[in-house]
Amino acid sequence: MFRKNFIAVLGALALLIPAQAIALQCVPYARQASGVQIFGNANTWWGQAAGKYDRGTEPKVGAVMTFKATKGNPLGHVAMVSKIVSDREVLVDHANWSLIGGRRGHIERGARVLDVSASGDWSAVKVWYATIGDMGRTTYPLHGFIYNAKPAEKVIALR
């Protein structure tokens, strides 16, 4: 009974909070959009995916692009690949990247990401910033991509 009342009170309070005051983070958005069920900060997703999901360096629609932690981005970032444009460009859907209306926490759909790695292996990217209406100047290192299907079970051949 207490739980039902508590949830009802929380629901009522949520109606009083202006929508613009709620900021969405990249992790819950990527989890919901991709179906990859990993929790914790974005910089932990790559390691957590090992043995649970296939991982790789090739972008695929529905895959989660995982950014490494950097000094300027210590928690990393995750985004879901929504479209392959070319072998060096994809579009992603993500949250909490650009300042829009002076605030973070917005969902951006179809944001450009360019592979700027020397070898074309998606180890370094530049990301579209709605704030400036252009690609950002910063190059971000990637771990790679987490694919939203669980890896195929290994079959042991009987002799």
pLDDT tens digits for range 47-67:
999 999 999 999 999 999 999
Whether residue 8 lies inside any domain: the answer is no
Q: Are 94 and 111 in contact (CB under 8 A)?
A: yes
Residue 99's pLDDT band, with cuts at 50, 70 and 90, is confident
What residue numbers bound the domain in which 139 lies?
Answer: 23-146
The predicted structure's pLDDT at residue 14: 43
What pLDDT was estimated at residue 4? 53
pLDDT at 150 over 70: no
| 93 within some domain | yes
| Residue 117 belongs to a domain | yes
Residue 52 lies in a domain: yes
Higher pLDDT, 15 or 79: 79
| In a domain? residue 103 | yes
CATH of the domain at 66: 3.90.1720.10
Q: Is residue 156 part of a domain?
A: no
pTM equals: 0.80
- The answer to whether residue 159 is domain-embedded is no
Domain count, the chain: 1
State the alpha helices, DSSP H only, in the chain. Answer: 2-16, 26-34, 45-49
Residue 84 counted as domain residue: yes
Residue type, 131: T
Stretch among 8-12, 49-53, 107-111, 149-153 having the lowest mean pLDDT = 8-12
